[in-house]
Amino acid sequence: MSKATTSALPARFTDWFAARGWAPRAHQLALLQHAQAGEDALLIAPTGAGKTLAGFLPSLVELSQQKSNVPEGPGLHTLYISPLKALAVDVARNLEIPAAEMKLRLRIETRTGDTSASKRQRQRRDPPQILLTTPEQLALLLASPDSLTLFSSLRRVVLDELHALVTSKRGDLLALGLAHLRTLAPAMRATGLSATVRDADELRRWLVARPEMAALVTAPPGAPADLSILDTRERLPWSGHGGGHAVREVYEQIRQAKTALVFVNTRAQAEAIFQQLWQINDDNLPIALHHGSLDAGQRRRVEEAMAQGQLRAVVCTSTLDLGIDWGAVDLVINLGAPKGASRLAQRIGRANHRLDESSRAILVPSNRFEVLECRAAIEAAREGAQDTPPARSGALDVLCQHILGMACAAPFDAQELFTEIRSAEPYADLDRAMFDAALAFVANGGYALKTYDRFAKIKRTKDGLWRVANGKIAQSYRMNVGTIVESEMLKVRLVQGRPAKPRATAPSSPAYTGPLRRGGRVLGEIEEYFLETLAPGDTFLFGGEILALQGIVEDEALVTRARSDAPKVPSYAGGKFPLSTYLAARVRRMLADPKSWVHLPEQVRDWLELQGQRSQLPRANDLLVETFPRGGRYYLVAYPFEGRLAHQTLGMLLTRRMERMGLKPQGFVASDYALAVWCLADVGTRLTKNMASLNDLFAQDMLGDDLEEWLQESALMKRTFRQCAVISGLIERRFPGKEKSGRHVTISTDLVYDVLRRHEPDHILLRAAREDAHSGLLDLARLADMLARVQGHLIHKDLERVSPLAVPILLEIGREPVYGEAQDDILAEAAAMLIQEAGA
Amino acid sequence: MIIGNGLEIKVAGEACMADPSGALWLAPLRTLIVSDLHFEKGSSLARRGVMIPPYDTLATLIRLKRVIDHYDPARVIALGDSFHDRDGAQRLSASDHERLSDLQTGREWIWITGNHDRTPPQGLAGQSRDEFRLGALLLRHEPQQGVSPGEIAGHLHPVARVVTPRGSLRRRCFVSDGARCILPAFGAYAGGLNLRDQAFAGLFPDRSPQAHVLGRDRIYSVAHEQCYAD
């Protein structure tokens, strides 16, 4: 390390490093130099590289050199933004240590949803020098009338876990906030802290106003991870995602480790594995459960128990992908498919937060296809390949929310705000017409029919500035800020069961679930649309136990403990990521290249070889389509490997088209790898005799009228629209004091969607919903890419019976929801039951 | 939606046609009944800063026109909550006002008062009544507790949640036990109340009613037991 670089560090700091027996790391000093040169910077570093200290070092150095007795108070110097409030609190705690040891006289405070109203007020009046908070809190601060006085002294912003923030609407909101901070505090410089990403330049642009790019500092990578695939002694399942076959082996691994994190992909799976681990937990190891549906208090307790080293394992979902450092974790088990190389890398990094030691991770595929995916992910991890999602363009609903927030802060000039917004990377391509549409939406709904002008939420002043119409609107903004829209959630409340049966002694009763097992309390929350699939009496796993739904009263699902052995396992959504494009391509290449199979388990190799004999293996750039009869139906199975969402959309569109061709499709099922449609007509023969054409079936124009027609009625589209309606501020999340009103009183966004679609199809909110659908639940972008790729590369195999590769997807039938044009058929079926009853 | 493809049901012995649009057609009396139109709900919410699309009145009127064009009734009875609030009629746009007036022309029009519109709409044709008797039928907005033979009411916005192994649906419906009938809401922004809700419990004390569910093209009759709570 050269003299020039260390000289940036004052003696007080070099002494402190020395006293601790540390030396400042090169990337920590590099970041300091960029800060001292007045530059924005992005630090890319693996976990354990002292990233947080690197981010704060420039602030601490600068603050240590400030004169301490400024009469009006020193003002806010550094703002730290984290995606998790727990992380903000933890970082604040960790920052206190060097600050205290170096005797730096400064105030470090956090501001989250949990901060008391009085403290928040005081923070605005008399801010600390370093404030640690979340994107939502930043938006709230920026929307307050004293934002200019609060932020004018700001010198630095530190954005933690930037790679995770920028991929969502939260990132859009933060980008807009950052752009406004640059206006309020021109001297402010931003520092981003990120894990390794696919394209660092995207983040470098994100941090600053166009056309600039933040400086880049890259820390050396840590020791290579110790990765393996669990070599199961059990028979590998053909399908399913439970991973139940390997529970005993997973338990053995937990027993041998100090502390293990067991990652799974869905909450349902977390519930199931947790349950199964406890069934064999003969040593009573403290194993806990953590996922997004559980009561927040319960989650905090698990996190604290983990931090204190009281647990041997936590079964968790992506809720623990990010988070505070737990030094004790020495093993990560990823159960099920990794879904993406970068996601896996992130999870692996949760073990062993020390740079010089390998993190240890074991991948446990839950079926044969997942073996291929795990293999691809491990190879990607060894190469350091990344597949973080590409930079997004800013969402329109978030834009609307931000415009209202800006009006709440101070009257604004439209042109100035437009310029500021375009300086935020996600909105760099926003055109004035769209900005004006957003502005009009905020003002009066932006409808072609101008009847709401007199109720406008923001109005123009005499000098042409836009200001918020009244305090109520500003209050409503504050209540509704943020971009995280929960699905309609119902609280799950445990009530006394029917007294008839004796209370079970619950033989599988886990030792560490103390807080879960009291009566009459709320266990957590669950999506309303999941409960819609249940009838009273149906059982499901939740919070590690089997519950029976008793009924729904207002916003609560009342449940009792059930004694059923076979719960109807919930498929409640959340955390089900589609297979990344990158891994999919790798899996396709692997399938096409038998030489690469040497690393695969024998069972899988045999399976693939059999596929080669019976049908053929999909080649990397082809789309293999198999047809075969089975049980009186005719199947068509395609292997696009584009992820479940894109396959579901494809299934919807394909069945419409097959219907028109007279193939009489009856339903379909989609997995991450394949799509199976079953028909009453002999689709295979029709294709071989050229009575139907595969090219027509998979033609790109299905994304035209067919798509539009389907979207009209699509429940996915309505759900997407609802999110946009909430984020944009069209409807409120909650009315103060009105939470108790029955659900039928609130306006249904489904009805609004139907009316708007018919009467103003080009409205900004429908555009926002369509854009979301393209990248979100329908994954249209990916489907479009796939259809383009396979044109002229469609391979048809007409078979006499099901192929080995098709077995897994056929087994999903009955396990996964079957799609089709149900709707009125459901009514017809229910009506038929009545007729039967009447006839009997 | 296929208007006219209704289902004949008997209410207190009178033949009624439950239309998939949510209207009830009394052919012998050439009378059409629609309930809970909730005109101007959009602008009512807009006054409180909830700027939902201002096309609800138009959407409801277009549907109503299709029904009226089909049946050509001599009499139309709006069964209360025709306007979302007292000032609703004044907020009608000129074109919607004209559309509504056109529908009223050449036929008798009865506005039954509702809890949202206790006073008759101003500046519109039609008579205002609290109740209206038609043979064995008694028409009012809010159903009365207990047995009430011949009562045709609205107010509750019934919807049925139908669950079969194929999935679940929540749709507007008529609710009737043959003695009385609750109409679904007709208005574009009118929400729904599950017929399993407590509010329905006192109305059919003796026997379970059937749900006549509005399908896309026709009405489906579903047994009460087949309908689930939300």
Domains (range + CATH), chain A: 3-218 (3.40.50.300), 226-383 (3.40.50.300), 396-484+715-774 (no CATH), 489-561 (no CATH), 615-700+778-825 (no CATH)
B1 touches chain A (CB under 8 A): no
pLDDT of residue A744: 35
B90 occurs within a structural domain: yes
Measured CA to CA, the distance from residue A416 to residue A432 in angstroms comes to: 12
pLDDT of residue A461: 94
DSSP structural state of residue B116:
S
Which residues 209-228 in chain B show a CB within 8 A of chain A? Answer: 210, 213, 215-217, 220-223, 226, 228
**pLDDT, tens digit, for every residue of A100-122?**
999 998 999 999 888 899 999 99
- Considering only A386-390, A537-541, B13-17, B209-213, which range has the smallest mean pLDDT? A537-541
A542 pLDDT more than 80:
no
A516 pLDDT more than 70:
no
CATH number of the domain bearing residue B167: 3.60.21
Give the nearest partner residue to A747 out of B49, B189, B229, using CB atoms.
B189
Give the nearest partner residue to B49 out of A457, A536, A755, using CB atoms.
A457
When scoring B161, B164, B210, B225 by the number of chain A Cβ atoms within 10 A, the one with the most, hence best to mutate, is: B164
Structure tokens at A89: 């609190």
The verdict on a CB contact (< 8 Å) between A760 and B228 is: no
Mean residue pLDDT across chain B: 92
When scoring A451, A490, A669, A709 by the number of chain B Cβ atoms within 10 A, the one with the most, hence best to mutate, is: A451
ipTM over 0.90: yes
Dihedral pair phi/psi, residue A266, rounded to 5°: -130, 160
B121 pLDDT more than 70:
yes
Compute the average pLDDT of residues B63-85. Answer: 96
Give the nearest partner residue to A473 out of B49, B168, B189, using CB atoms.
B49
Measured CA to CA, the distance from residue A454 to residue B137 in angstroms comes to: 44
pLDDT band, very low/low/confident/very high, at A743 (cuts 50, 70, 90): very low
Compute the average pLDDT of residues A404-430. Answer: 97
The verdict on a CB contact (< 8 Å) between A831 and B220 is: yes
Exposure pattern of A676-714 as b/e (b: 16+ CB <10 Å)? bbbbebbbbebbeeeebebeebbeeebbeebbeebbeeb
Q: What is the dihedral of CA B27, B28, B30, B33, to 10 degrees?
A: -60
Give the nearest partner residue to B166 out of A447, A532, A822, using CB atoms.
A822
Non-local (6+) Cβ contacts of A804 within 8 A are A607, A608, A610, A611, A614, A615
Spell out which residues of chain B touch residue A731, defining contact as CB-CB under 8 Å: 50, 52
Give the nearest partner residue to A449 out of B54, B162, B230, using CB atoms.
B54
B224 occurs within a structural domain: yes
Compute the average pLDDT of residues B189-195. Answer: 91
Classify A79 in phi/psi space as left (phi over 0), alpha (psi -120 to 50) or beta. beta
User: How far does the CA of residue A741 sit from the closest CA of chain B (Å)?
Assistant: 12
B81 occurs within a structural domain: yes
Residue keyed to tokens 């209370």: A503
B189 touches chain A (CB under 8 A): yes
User: How far does the CA of residue A724 sit from the closest CA of chain B (Å)?
Assistant: 13
Non-local (6+) Cβ contacts of A704 within 8 A are none
A57 pLDDT more than 60:
yes
**pLDDT, tens digit, for every residue of A215-233?**
999 998 888 888 999 888 8
**pLDDT, tens digit, for every residue of A651-696?**
888 988 998 899 988 878 888 899 999 999 999 999 999 888 999 9
Measured CA to CA, the distance from residue A523 to residue A538 in angstroms comes to: 17
Spell out which residues of chain A touch residue B162, defining contact as CB-CB under 8 Å: 826-827, 830
Query: B170 versus B14: which is more confidently predicted?
Result: B14
Spell out which residues of chain B touch residue A764, defining contact as CB-CB under 8 Å: none
B149 occurs within a structural domain: yes
The verdict on a CB contact (< 8 Å) between A763 and B164 is: no
Are the beta carbons of B32 and B67 closer than 8 angstroms? yes
pLDDT band, very low/low/confident/very high, at A840 (cuts 50, 70, 90): very low
The alpha-helical segments, DSSP class H, found in A188-340 are: 200-206, 247-256, 267-279, 296-307
Domain extent for B38: 7-228
Compute the average pLDDT of residues A613-622. Answer: 91
When scoring B38, B52, B182 by the number of chain A Cβ atoms within 10 A, the one with the most, hence best to mutate, is: B52
Which residues 779-818 in chain A show a CB within 8 A of chain B? Answer: 817-818
Are the beta carbons of A331 and A259 closer than 8 angstroms? yes
The verdict on a CB contact (< 8 Å) between A452 and B168 is: no
Which residues 143-162 in chain B show a CB within 8 A of chain A? Answer: 157, 161-162
B131 touches chain A (CB under 8 A): no
B106 occurs within a structural domain: yes
B2 occurs within a structural domain: no
Q: What is the dihedral of CA A67, A69, A74, A78, to 10 degrees?
A: 40
**Within its chain, how far is the Cα of A395 from the centroid?**
16
**pLDDT, tens digit, for every residue of A81-100?**
998 888 898 899 989 999 99
B1 occurs within a structural domain: no
Measured CA to CA, the distance from residue B215 to residue B76 in angstroms comes to: 23
Query: B162 versus B140: which is more confidently predicted?
Result: B140
**pLDDT, tens digit, for every residue of A298-341?**
888 998 898 888 999 999 988 788 777 777 889 999 998 888 88
Spell out which residues of chain B touch residue A755, defining contact as CB-CB under 8 Å: 53, 55-56, 59, 188-189
**pLDDT, tens digit, for every residue of A753-791?**
999 999 999 999 999 998 888 877 778 888 999 999 999
Asked if the peptide bond before residue A211 counts as cis, ω within 30 degrees of 0, the response is yes
R_g of chain A, CA atoms, integer Å? 28
From A315, A286, A279, A284, select the one nearest A299 (Cα to Cα): A315
B202 occurs within a structural domain: yes
pLDDT of residue A819: 53
The verdict on a CB contact (< 8 Å) between B53 and A752 is: yes
Spell out which residues of chain A touch residue B170, defining contact as CB-CB under 8 Å: 532
Q: How many domains would you assign to chain B?
A: 1
CA dist B228 to A209, A494, A838, B225, Å? 54, 20, 20, 7
pLDDT of residue B66: 96
**pLDDT, tens digit, for every residue of A698-723?**
999 988 888 887 777 677 788 889 88
pLDDT of residue A345: 86
Q: Is A485 helix (H, G, I), strand (E, B) or coil?
A: coil
